[in-house]
Amino acid sequence: MYGSYWCPHCSHQKELFGNEAWSTVSYVECSTKGFYYDANKLTAVKDKIEGFPTWHFPNDKKKKNEWVSGEMPLERIASLSGFSGKFDVSLEGPEVAGAVGSCN
């Protein structure tokens, strides 16, 4: 996930994962003032980032190389990433008005 420390959509997306699951996500900080910002990681992909968060789902045998901007439910991220494990969608809680979107 490409995001920014100041983006409420990125913060909410991280919260949905929880600490243990979030530790498995490859995160790239896109704000120059953000912790762990690395311009080298952004140079080749900056034209693909339309807003925050932007998810990159790399190429594999079943899925094409996809870039998707915006906060998404965990179920959609699981589908796009090819995640085959089990999780309880109800743990996400009710959708909050205004919680879906992206920061530009």
pLDDT in tens, 70-96: 999 988 898 888 888 887 777 666 654
- Bridge-based pairing state of the strands 66-69 and 28-29: unpaired
**What is the DSSP track for 22-48?**
HTTS--EE-STTSTT--HHHHTTTGGG
Q: CATH for 2-92?
A: 3.40.30.10
Section 56-66 average pLDDT: 75
This prediction has a pTM of 0.83
Q: According to the model, what pLDDT value does residue 95 have?
A: 58
Q: According to the model, what pLDDT value does residue 63 have?
A: 62
Number of Cβ within 10 Å of residue 79's Cβ equals 13
Phi and psi at 59, nearest 5°, equal: -65, 135
Q: What does the alpha-carbon distance between residue 65 and residue 4 come to, in Å, rounded to a whole number?
A: 22
pLDDT in tens, 17-48: 888 889 999 999 999 999 989 999 999 899 99
